[in-house]
Amino acid sequence: MARVTVGGRLHFGFGNLSLSHERLYGAVGVALDSPRLSVRADPADGVDCADPTAREYAKRAVDLLGVPGAAVSLESTLPRHAGLGSGTQLALATLAAVANAHGREPAVRERAPALGRGGRSGVGVAAFEAGGFVLDAGHPTARFTTDRPADGDWTVPAIAARHEIPDEWRFLVVIPRADPGRSGDEEDESMRAVVERADPGLGDRIAGIVARRLLPAVAEGSAERFGEAVAEIGRLNGAWYADEQGGVYRPPVGELVASLSDAAAIYGAGQSSWGPAVFGVTDAERANEALAAGDEALAAAGVDGDATVVRGRNRGADVEPGPDDASDGAA
């Protein structure tokens, strides 16, 4: 038996989506300690899994690893298509669970593309490997193609910068009961439409924020300056996406972000990935006030949902190893 457990992640946005600049994408995000996904795998002949999405990942994992099969079950799950990285974490956790059940090395970074993951953003893969705050290097713009490359025909973006998330930092996560965020072919079509018309000036502005505000803030441990920086990066990303999602933030995220931005306990708020998850940066001292602000934001927007305050995660996936591997870490 092997069990792999990992938290979700927040995706604050990309450094550049314009074809006018030398490098494309360059994602920014953090690993979260909760909510968590847990996948169990047992050696088997063939693939047995009740969850259809996990079953497809298990089939690919079995083929990639060259093993007979696996019985795979989901013991806990992340909210699907909410902006917390459920797809990548499920794919990699399934791969790692199947590999460890057979005493094999999962090599998640190398095999993620064959699972259809890690094409644009490397945050999910990096969060699975080692957690923390991550800025990835993106891809050379010359590699961009109008048609989506086949699964496996890319490499996961390298990590340009990684920092430990300070112990006292906290993240408010608000998930309104709204339509799920974009995924699969719909997400791919939207992203390509955005890239083909993106304003290069926004990329220049984001580059300045990353270099002069974001990286110094995380290196020095300032939650306030970090929150302000990621909020601005998210707002500028939203200007790229406005035509695709109906505004700088997708409905009803805009109302939630506006409400949280006025809360004294929140240093910066925004939309994670395609949403509908909303984040707020705070700290342990203000966690209760931040949670109350999340509940108040939902009430003010007139939508149901859930608000939680969670820690960042500075380690990769936890593995209860299979027969031939007694170490932690799934990469």
pLDDT in the model for residue 326: 40
The 3-state DSSP class for residue 248 equals coil
> In the chain, how many H helices and how many E strands?
10, 12
154 pLDDT more than 50: yes
From CA 69, how far away is CA 50, in angstroms rounded? 15
- Sort residue 103 into left (φ over 0), alpha (ψ -120 to 50) or beta: left
Architecture of domain 2-320: 2-Layer Sandwich (3.30)
Lowest mean pLDDT among 13-17, 80-84, 148-152, 231-235: 148-152
Chain segment 99-110, per-residue pLDDT in tens: 999 999 999 999
185 pLDDT more than 90: no
pLDDT in the model for residue 85: 97
The 3-state DSSP class for residue 6 equals strand
User: Encoding tokens for residue 143?
Assistant: 């590699």
284 pLDDT more than 50: yes
Once rounded to an integer, what is the mean pLDDT over residues 137-143?
Answer: 95
Once rounded to an integer, what is the mean pLDDT over residues 22-27?
Answer: 97
Question: Nearest Cα to 271, choosing from 292, 290, 257, 255?
Answer: 257
Chain segment 299-322, per-residue pLDDT in tens: 999 999 999 999 999 999 999 975
Q: Between these two residues, 182 and 272, which has the higher pLDDT value?
A: 272
Instruction: Kindly state the percentage of the chain with pLDDT values over 70.
Output: 95
143 pLDDT more than 60: yes
Q: Are 28 and 211 in contact (CB under 8 A)?
A: no
4 pLDDT more than 70: yes
Chain segment 231-283, per-residue pLDDT in tens: 999 999 999 999 888 899 998 999 999 999 999 999 999 999 999 999 999 99
Instruction: Kindly state the percentage of the chain with pLDDT values over 90.
Output: 87
In the numeric block, the tokens 């995660």 are attached to 313
| pTM flag (> 0.75) | yes
**Which residues face 11 on adjacent strands?**
29
Beta strand segments in the chain, E = 2-16, 23-43, 46-49, 69-76, 133-136, 139-140, 159-163, 169-176, 268-271, 278-283, 305-310, 318-320
From CA 313, how far away is CA 128, in angstroms rounded? 10
DSSP labels for 80-95? TTSSS-HHHHHHHHHH
Once rounded to an integer, what is the mean pLDDT over residues 166-182?
Answer: 91
192 pLDDT more than 90: no
From CA 310, how far away is CA 30, in angstroms rounded? 12
Question: Nearest Cα to 180, choosing from 231, 279, 250?
Answer: 250
Residue 291: pLDDT band (50, 70, 90) is very high
33 pLDDT more than 60: yes
Residue 109's H or E segment, with its range, is helix 108-111
pLDDT in the model for residue 322: 59
pLDDT in the model for residue 180: 73
pLDDT in the model for residue 131: 98
Check the CA dihedral 128-130-136-139 and report its sign.
negative
pLDDT in the model for residue 102: 97
Question: Nearest Cα to 99, choosing from 331, 263, 316?
Answer: 331
In the numeric block, the tokens 């086949």 are attached to 150
Residues contacting 318, CB < 8 A, separation 6+: 4, 5, 6, 328
